A and B are shown apart, each in its own frame.
Chain A
């Protein structure tokens, strides 16, 4: 799980172009969206969904609660682990 968290953080930094951030700067359970978090917006949400699809082969459906899944790095990792089973 730890490996997955680190991998996800690296992918977020790369895909979302956070040039000045390191993986230590991203709180695993901290909010990704909104001003208290990394300040991501709707375009970033699409990019996160792309990460799930491209890197992990997971397609989010209408039945999935997108907001909850993308809430934090941890919730994304949990979703990936769930889909892997």
Chain B
């Protein structure tokens, strides 16, 4: 079942097509790649904005960008992936409970702390009564949202689903993640790319007439709890999928620098780009890779200043992401 992408919205540190962003050393030296946030009043009624934490604003704004891009007012369903959820409000409420010794905590932070606040505030803003869900599943959070959208659209191809993700990173959380890496040799980020945060939403449907970027032809999540080597996982996936073997032009890869050449070899020497260089490391970074792929399908490889290896055309792109050597995802995005 194909999902045709008719609109997208993205809030991230920058675009790989932006040479200034690409060449900005300061970005690579930073600890956290913070997104460039829009003027939220362009997307969100100021009267309700006060109730919304930053992560909800990012989700809501990027969802609206996707709808505007697709010229759709109200989708038929909204599905969000967020691995860590509304961490800022969670911290706020938890602090108030602990430091206040359970006396008089404020309800506002509590009600915005639940993971589904993002999907639900999008629905409230749009008055969308359709299907609504939120996945919080570590490295599969965004991929689950895509899978869910795919199954919903498979049942009813005429429906239009907004599927996306958002994850935020507070300083406290970044400290904790760093602590895990140092204390437990847990190479969450071997590349030493910065940590990242961001939001991306896509308007998807089963009808080709709605396609403006490309189509998602396959979503696969592989849970590797038998400690198989990443290159073996990727090679097995490649060998099991004829459509990818036939012709993949480019791989957008969320793995490590020293895996790039072996992955390229597996994919018949096509170009492999490490997309986390542009968005940083975070659980739902596959959504950034999907945004990147959409821009490539639309604009091609003209005037790019990033290295696309041997690739000269882009009509079929495979996104490969991994988290903690356990969560592997493969998303195929292509022209139709």
Contacts and interface: CB of A to CB of B under 8 A. Distances in A.
Same assembly: yes
Interface of A: 15-20, 39, 43, 46-47, 50, 53-54
A46 B51 contact: no
Interface stretch (B65-73, B106-114, B170-178): B106-114
B209 to A, nearest CB: 41
B104 A15 contact: no
B108 A43 contact: yes
Contacts of A53: 104
A54 B51 contact: no
Contacts of A15: 106
A19 B50 contact: yes
B108 A47 contact: yes
A54 B107 CA distance: 14
Contacts of B111: 43
Contacts of B108: 16-17, 43, 47
B130 interface: no
A50 B104 contact: yes
A20 B107 contact: no
Given A43-B108, A47-B107, 16 more contacts: A15-B106, A16-B108, A17-B50, A17-B108, A18-B50, A19-B50, A20-B46, A43-B51, A43-B107, A43-B111, A46-B107, A47-B106, A47-B108, A50-B104, A53-B104, A54-B104
B45 to A, nearest CB: 10
A18 B170 CA distance: 22
A16 B52 CA distance: 11
Nearest to B111: A43
A17 B51 contact: yes
Interface string B24-53: 000000000000000000000011001100
Nearest to A46: B107
A16 B50 CA distance: 7
A19 B47 CA distance: 10
Interface string B197-232: 000000000000000000000000000000000000
Interface in B141-163: none
A15 B92 CA distance: 13
Nearest to B46: A20
Nearest to B107: A46
Contacts of A43: 51, 107-108, 111
B47 A50 contact: no
Contacts of B107: 43, 46-47
A16 B46 CA distance: 13
B48 to A, nearest CB: 9
Nearest to A41: B51
A54 B104 CA distance: 8
A16 B108 CA distance: 8
B106 A39 contact: no
Question: Which of B46, B47, B108, B111 has most A Cβ within 10 Å?
Answer: B108
5 contacts: A16-B108, A43-B51, A47-B106, A47-B108, A53-B104
Nearest to B53: A17
Nearest to A39: B47
A31 B50 CA distance: 19
Nearest to B105: A50
A47 B106 CA distance: 7
Contacts of B46: 20
Contacts of B47: 39
A17 B108 CA distance: 10
A16 B51 CA distance: 8
A41 to B, nearest CB: 9
B100 to A, nearest CB: 9
A3 to B, nearest CB: 24
